[in-house]
Amino acid sequence: MRQINEDIKSGNLKQVYLLFGEEGYLVRQYRDKLYEALRGGDSMNVHRFEGKDINVEEILDLADTIPFLAERRVLLLEDTGLFKHGGEKLAEYLAHPAPTAYFLFVEHEVDKRCRLYKQAQSTGRAVEFAVQDERMLKQWVAGILKKEGLQITESTVELFLDKVGTDMGSIRLELEKLICYCMGRNVVEREDVEQICTVRIHNRIFDMVTAIGEKRTQDALTLYYDLLALKEPPLRILFLIARQCNTLLQVKQLKNKGLANKAMGEKLGLPPFVVGKYASQAARFKERELRRAVSRCLETEEAVKTGRMNDSIGVETLILSVF
């Protein structure tokens, strides 16, 4: 991020930028910054492509076309999948691109072993935007509130992040609600966060798995019915339960190997403070219970997708018998 900001500030822009990673908010922010810097107010020599059905030959022809009354021809390519497979021709071109051709790639996932990734990294910059750590998120939240004349304690920030999660896009939306709710005051209280901030679905799933593990079946079913009332599809709920159980299994295995939260977070792609929550929950289960839970989730998914079981009833049955 620092290098991109320096490139923009100095005007020494690279011919190739690749932005990718799980933190979509930052990816979009830097995509827009680079796009504006590269085009320099020009709209005639910019081209935007999206999706996996793009024509690479058309892109290469455009790249070789001299820009009209401008110094650059800018090509923005989003979610093409070319950084996983099919990007060989483009990789070959980027080794010796036309001097006026500038590429901005935006991808959610990339294979760092592929030729296109290595060439983009060699010719320009490949920047990964990972989920931000707790310290950075706390500072970011406090900074936004400070600009609005609001103060917040560290414990209240922790409560806020616990409720809304680590996705910066979701955090920004929830902060806007919180700022409006606290208008006319200068301190954000815990009660404000409890009153106005939306609990993300992953937290509900977390609470549901906790209730299942503690044999609080009625509480688990209540959470499930609440999610159905919010129009969450049963299969998505099933997927999230399965992912939760699988993450707990991985955390338990890594914990048994003696890894600290930070090391586990690096392996699992999770912030340390989130890993801490998972570690506490995983401690309630035996490893064989978590293995069985993952298997039961897969069996339920297969039964639903093959028509042997209704999706809503299937998930309800799973909740009653997963552990």
Same domain, residue pair 60 and 82:
yes
Same domain, residue pair 158 and 225:
no
Measured in whole angstroms, the distance separating CA 276 from the mean position of its chain's CA atoms is: 19
Same domain, residue pair 164 and 212:
no
Find the mean pLDDT for residues 15-43. Answer: 93
The residue type of 144 is: I
- Which domain-ending residue is among 196, 221, 247? 196
| Pair of tokens at residue 263 | 């090391």
**Nearby residues of 228 by Cβ (< 8 Å), 6 or more positions away:** 234, 237, 312
- List the one residue out of 280, 28, 266, 4 whose CA is nearest residue 167: 28
What mean pLDDT, rounded, does the chain reach?
Answer: 91
pLDDT in tens, 295-322: 999 999 999 999 999 999 999 999 888 7
Cβ 171 vs Cβ 29: under 8 Å: no
| Pair of tokens at residue 206 | 């977390």
Same domain, residue pair 139 and 65:
no
pLDDT in tens, 54-82: 999 999 999 999 999 899 999 999 999 99
Same domain, residue pair 153 and 106:
no
- Which domain-ending residue is among 196, 217, 239? 196
Percent of the chain with pLDDT over 90: 68
pLDDT in tens, 193-246: 999 987 777 778 888 888 887 878 899 999 899 888 878 899 999 998 998 899
Residue 150 is part of which domain span?
134-196
pLDDT in tens, 164-201: 888 899 899 999 999 999 999 999 999 999 999 877 77
Find the mean pLDDT for residues 128-150. Answer: 91
